[in-house]
Amino acid sequence: MDDSNSANQSSTCVVGYALNAKKLRKSSHDGTTSSGKGGEPHKTESVENRKPSEYNWKGGGLSDILESSLSLSSNLVSDSVTFVQLDYEIPLTAQPKCDVIIHKLTEDIDNNSKESVAKINLIEAYLKEFPRTVIVDPLSCVRKVISRARTCEHLSNIQRRLGKNCSFTQPAYIIAEEGVGTQEMVNQLAEKGLSYPLICKPIQACGTPHSHNMMVIVSKEDLHLVTVPCVVQQYHDHDEGLYKVYVIDQDVMVFRRQSLPNLHLRSSHAGAASNAPSSPVRSLPFDSRKNYPTYSDFVSGGPEGPSGERKDETAPSSSAKLEAPIPPELFDACQRTATAIREEFGLSLFGFDAILPNDRCPSPSAVAVKIVVIDVNYFPSYKEVSDFPFRLKNFLRSQMHAK
């Protein structure tokens, strides 16, 4: 790579992008990505006078960044950042020269298909040929969050390393492997001290149609409903409040979202036949990409109304909580957790979900707030970060000079 391309801060930052096939087709629908093999720079209308406060990002993925003339690509190009496509179907010598590579290859990293292997080989060969090019984020680091089992292991590593100074915990969990029987699962749950309710999540965190299919189990009798392999976590009542934490390198942003309801159930251990015979609450599957089920859904056994559409039953009191400012003590805990995750996972663009369980911390403004991290994901939507284009632009330009 010609070092003169990165000689000074005023030069254009060339960002090569790589997407899985599905997302690449989406980003090419309106012709807004690079035209032709080898990635000629994508040209867009200049919006140089746009201020950070005027961005109106509504969330999405890397394909959305490339898709619309009013989305991230046009804003970035006007600030001397240009996107070019890396194409695995052409030789390495014909690829565009890039300062930074950004990707969303979560569906390809652990995929043995010919196409996926070719994409991964291209990225690895490119970085070997052009060692001054920075990748956001390294494939080996992204691999850590593709598997929820690996994510739990790395979170445990942080907890062991930091000990009492760790700003977070994670729910007690087991890994229910393929072929595990119900009684064996009961024994594992009891050994780890888990109690009902439980929440079950597929091992594969992204890249499959079932990655977001969750299941809340409220009794031993319903364990046969669990689809394995999966991570089985302790379910904690948390007043329907989920904290979405978005990270762009050193930049940390925290937002409160509506979450799952308090189920008011707890047995002494997961081997108990049932939690509360008089309780109307039932086990329930749900899709984490959609609105979370409400307490009435757990009672009625389903989240859909007569039309089949998801019901919106957010209580006024819950809405008020969602709009309340994030307490400084909570933000500090999220910030310290973000630093620990960044160092352990080696990621720059990531997010994590956290809760404050009722049985752990009754008040978010308590003196020592310790959050519970329930999920970590690579390159989230940044949905609530309206000036995400501005922040990402600055980050990409800073990476241009990182090597």
Residue 296 parent element (H or E): helix 295-300
pTM above 0.75, yes or no: yes
148-162 and 139-146 helices cross at what angle (nearest 10)? 100
* pLDDT computed for residue 319 by the predictor: 62
The per-residue pLDDT for 306 is: 36
218 vs 266: CA distance, rounded Å: 9
Q: Left (φ > 0), alpha (ψ -120 to 50) or beta: where does 41 sit? A: beta
Q: Are 127 and 103 in contact (CB under 8 A)?
A: no
What pLDDT score was predicted for residue 63?
A: 72
CA nearest neighbour of 217 among 315, 283, 119: 283
Rounded to whole angstroms, the Cα distance separating 226 from 20 reads: 30
- Quick one: pLDDT at residue 394? 86
Alpha carbons 105 and 79: distance in angstroms, whole number? 26
To the nearest whole number, what is the mean pLDDT of the chain?
A: 81
Kindly give the parts of the chain with pLDDT less than 50. Answer: 1-9, 27-37, 39-50, 68-78, 273-276, 305-317, 362, 364-367
Distance, CA of 117 to CA of 115 (rounded, Å): 6
User: What does the pLDDT read at residue 81?
Assistant: 82
**Residue 303: predicted pLDDT:** 56
Q: Which amino acid is at 220?
A: K
279, amino acid identity? S
